[in-house]
Chains A and B, each alone.
Chain A
Amino acid sequence: MPNPSHEPVSLASLRPGASVEVVRVDGEDVLARRLVDHGFWPGTRVDVVRRAPFGDPTQYRLRGFRLALRKSEAARIFVVPAPAGP
C-alpha cells in the first residue's frame, strides 16, 4: 500500500533543511535531460540548503557539490524523504 508520507513531492515545494532522494525528473525535454546531466537521477540524495534573499533561486547540495536552481526547474524534480543516514 502506498504510504502517504512517501508520495513523491516536487523539490520546489521543500524548505531549507530538507533531505530527500530523487525519484524521477518529469518530462522528456532538454531541461529534464539537463537536470539529469547535473546529477539528479533516481537515487540521488539532495539537501535543500538555503533560499536567496528574494525567495528564489534555492541552493541545493548533491553528489558532493552545490547547485542553484530556480523554482521553475526544481518543480520538475520529484523526491521522497531520504532514508535517515549520515
Chain B
Amino acid sequence: MTAPASKGGPRAIPSPAPALVVAFAGRQNAGKTSLLMHLSGSIQKPVNFPGSSVERTEAHVVHRDVLLRLVDLPGIASLHTVSPDEAIAVEFLRGGGQAGRADVVCVAVDACKLTVELKLLEEIMSLGLRVIIALTKNDVATREGRPVDAAALGRELQVPVIEVNAATGAGKTELLNAIAAAASSIPTAARALAPDAIARSVQPNVDRVVHSRTDRIDAVLLHPIFGLPILGAIVFGIFQLIFSGADPFITAIETGQGAIGDAITSLVPDGAVQSFLVDGLVNGVGSIVVFLPQIIMLVALVSLLEASGYMARASFLLDRALSRVGLSGRSFVPMASSFACAVPGILSARIIDDERDRIATIVTAPLMSCSARLPVYVVLIGAFFAPSAAGIVLFSIYVMGILVAALVAWLLRRTVLRGPHSALMMELPVYQRPSARVIAGQVWIAVREFLVLAGTVIFATALIIWLLSYYPRPAAIHAEFEAQRAAVAAPDSPDGAEQIERLDAAENTAYLEQSWLADAGRAIQPVFALAGFDWRVSVGILAAFPARELIIPTLGILYSAGDVDPGDYDLAELETDHRETGLRARLRESTGPDGEATFTPLVALSLMIFFALCSQCMATLAAIRRETRSWRWPVFTFTYMTVLAWLAAVAVYQIGSALGLGTGGA
C-alpha cells in the first residue's frame, strides 16, 4: 500500500513516521525497477534527487508497521562513475549527498552473471552499509543448468540473500522481511571478496557458455541476412498498429470533443464566453487528449520490446548505420516512434545511455514526419498534384525528413554536441516474457507526465492563440452581418437557410481577418512572401505553432470554406477529389488583389516542406524541456527547425520560380 505522503498535492503531511530509507542498487539490467514495482504494489512517482535534476522513482511501503522509503538508484557498474546519474547513485550510497543516507541497501544481483556482480558487490560492501541481496533471474540460470545456491551465497558473503523473481514478484514478502530485519543489524564489514572463487563455490558451471533458448532465438533475429528484414517487419507492424489501432480512439475523442462543444454552444449564449469555452477550453483540452491513444500504444509496444530483450538486438543491428551520422543504435526506437508522434518518441529516448547521443536524438526526432503533418500534406497534395503523382510526392516528403534529420545530427555532433565517440557496451539480455504490471506502470508514468506537461505549457499556448484570433470583436461587423441576415428573404426556406449559413461563415472570416492574429500574419507576411505564402497562409502558420494541424481549420475560415470537410484531409481521399467546393477547391481558386492565383503547385510544395521541417508542436517542445531538464534544447530545437523550414521553403519557391514552375497547373 502507498502512504499518503507519496501522493503529493497540497495536503497537510501527517507527522513524519520514522521512515526506513532503503536504497535499491545494482546494474542496469539486474531487474531493480520491476522489483520495486512489485514491492510497492503500485505505480511509482518519479522524484528528483535533492540538489540535482536526476530523476528516479521512489515508493513508500508500510511493512509490519514500519514505513519503508524505497529509493530506486540509477544503475551502476562500479563505484567509479562515468555519468551524472551514476554519480548520484554512488553519492547516495556513500551518504554524502543532500538526499540523506540509506539505512539499508538492497543490491539486485543477476544470477546469470554472478562473477561480475560479485565484483560490484565487493565495492558496495566496502562502504560500511547494511547490505542485503536480492538474487534475480535465478530461474533463467537454473534453466541454463547453473542455479545459484542462495543460502550458500549468503553464508559466503555473510549477508542475507533472498531469491526474488522480478517478473512474477515471487519472493517479495521474504525480501521485505529481510529489509525490516536488516535495519537493526550491524553494518556489513568491508571485506575483500574473490569473485571467481566464491562464484565457483555457489554455482555450478559459473561462467559456462550455455547454448540456450536465447542463443537459438538470436540465431534467427540477428541473422546476417534476415536480421534486418525481420526488424523492418516488426517496425512496420508497430506502425500499422499505431496508425490503424489508435484511429478509432482518436475519432472517438474528436467526436466527444465536438459533442461537448455543441452542448456548450447550445447552453451558453453567443459571445466571448462561449467562444472561450468551445474554441479555447474544449479544443485546447481536446488537442492534448487526442495524443493519448498513440502515446499509450507506442509506449506499451516500446516497453514490451524493451522488456522482452529485443530492443537491444535492434540497437545491435542498426548501431553502425546510426553511429555514422552521430547517433547510436539506441536512437532507432525514438526515431521510428516519431513517425507516429514525436512526443512518445522523445520520451523513449531515455534508453540511450550516452548523453550526447540522447540529445542529438531528441532534437532531431521531430524532423520525422509525424501523423499530425499528414492532414496538411493530404489537403495540399490533393488540391495541387495529379493523382498519379500524389503517392510519390508524399513519400518524398517523408524521405526528406529522414535525410534532413541525418544531416542535422551529423552537424550537431561536429559542433555543439562535439565530444568523444560514445562507447557501446551493451548487454544483450536473455529473452523473457515481459511483466504486464511493469509495462502498465511505464505507460501510466508516460501518460501522467504528458498530461502534466500538456495541462500547463500546451494549454497556455492554445489559449494565447485563441485570444489573438478572437479579439478585437468590433460591434460594427456583427451589426453589418445582422443587417444582411435580416435582409434574407424567406430565412426558413432551404435557400434562405443556405444564405444565412454562408453569411455566418463570412462573418467568421470577417472577424478573423481583422483579429490580432491576422494583424500579426500581415506583419510577418513579407518574411513568408519569399517562400510564396500570402498573408492568409502566414496567419495559418502562426495559428499552427501550438499544434501544426491547426492550420486546416484556420485556412478553412480564412478561405471561407467554413467547416472543413474531413474528406479534404483524409488520406484515403488523397487521390480522389470530386469536390467542386471545399477547402481544396478554395485553395485552387484563390486569387490575390492582382487577380493572380495565390496558390500554385510550387507554393503548395514550398508550404509542405515548411510544415515538414518546422517546429510547430508545443507538446514536442514541452517533452524536450522535460527530457533534457533545461530550456536550452527546446529553444534550440524550435529555432533551428523554424529557420531551416523557412530557408528550405524559400529555396524551393525561389528556385522553382526561376525555373518557371511558379505558375500553371499541375
Contacts and interface: CB of A to CB of B under 8 A. Distances in A.
A68 B78 contact: no
Interface residues of B, number: 45
A62 B119 contact: no
Contact of A38 (B82, B196, B425): B425
Contacts of B120: 37
A53 B353 CA distance: 23
Interface string A20-49: 000000000011011101110001110100
Given A34-B423, A63-B116, A53 B227 contact: yes
A47 to B, nearest CB: 6
B151 to A, nearest CB: 20
Nearest to B320: A54
Give the most central of A51, A66, A70: most B CB within 10 Å: A66
Given A63-B116, A64-B112, A54 B321 contact: yes
Contacts of A30: 80, 82
Interface in B314-350: 315-317, 319-321, 323, 329
Contacts of A8: none
Nearest to B321: A54
Interface in B218-277: 218, 222, 224-225, 227-228
A38 B77 contact: yes
B78 A37 contact: yes
Given A47-B209, A54-B321, A70 B115 contact: no
A62 B207 contact: yes
B424 A66 contact: no
A37 B77 contact: yes
B424 A52 contact: no
B224 A63 contact: no
A56 B207 contact: no
Give the most central of B115, B141, B319, B423: most A CB within 10 Å: B423
B207 A64 contact: yes
A63 B115 contact: yes
B207 A63 contact: yes
A59 interface: yes
Contact of B425 (A50, A61, A69, A86): A69
Give the most central of A45, A65, A86: most B CB within 10 Å: A65
B423 A52 contact: no
Interface in B422-448: 423-429
Contact of B423 (A43, A45, A51, A72): A72
B113 interface: yes
Contacts, number: 111
A55 interface: yes
A2 B461 CA distance: 73
Contact of A57 (B78, B112, B115, B316): B316
A67 B110 CA distance: 15
Give the most central of B78, B316, B319: most A CB within 10 Å: B316
Nearest to B146: A64
A66 B320 CA distance: 18
B208 interface: yes
A65 B316 contact: no
Interface string B161-198: 00000000000000000000000000000000000100
Given A33-B78, A38-B116, A67 B425 contact: yes
Contacts of A35: 425
Given A53-B227, A72-B421, A66 B427 contact: yes
B423 A59 contact: no
A22 B54 CA distance: 36
Contacts of A67: 425-428
Contacts of A38: 77, 116, 425
A49 to B, nearest CB: 8
A33 B207 contact: no
B424 A57 contact: yes
Contacts of A68: 312, 315-316, 319, 424-428
A50 B424 contact: no
Contact of B116 (A34, A39, A72): A39
A30 B354 CA distance: 14
Interface string A63-81: 1111111101100000000
B548 to A, nearest CB: 35
A56 B319 contact: yes
Interface string B194-220: 001000000000111110001000100
A64 B320 contact: no
A64 B210 contact: yes
Contacts of A57: 316, 319-320, 329, 424, 426
A78 B565 CA distance: 68
Given A54-B321, A64-B114, A69 B424 contact: yes
Contacts of B225: 53
A74 to B, nearest CB: 10
A58 to B, nearest CB: 9
Contacts of B227: 53
B425 A66 contact: no
A65 B599 CA distance: 61
Given A38-B77, A57-B320, A62-B207, A50 B423 contact: no
Given A34-B423, A54-B321, 10 more contacts: A43-B196, A44-B207, A54-B319, A61-B209, A63-B113, A63-B207, A65-B110, A65-B113, A66-B427, A68-B316
In order of increasing CB-CB distance, the 3 nearest A-B pairs are A54-B320, A66-B428, A37-B77
Interface of A: 30-31, 33-35, 37-39, 43-45, 47, 50-57, 59, 61-70, 72-73, 86
7 contacts: A51-B224, A52-B319, A56-B320, A64-B209, A68-B319, A70-B319, A70-B323
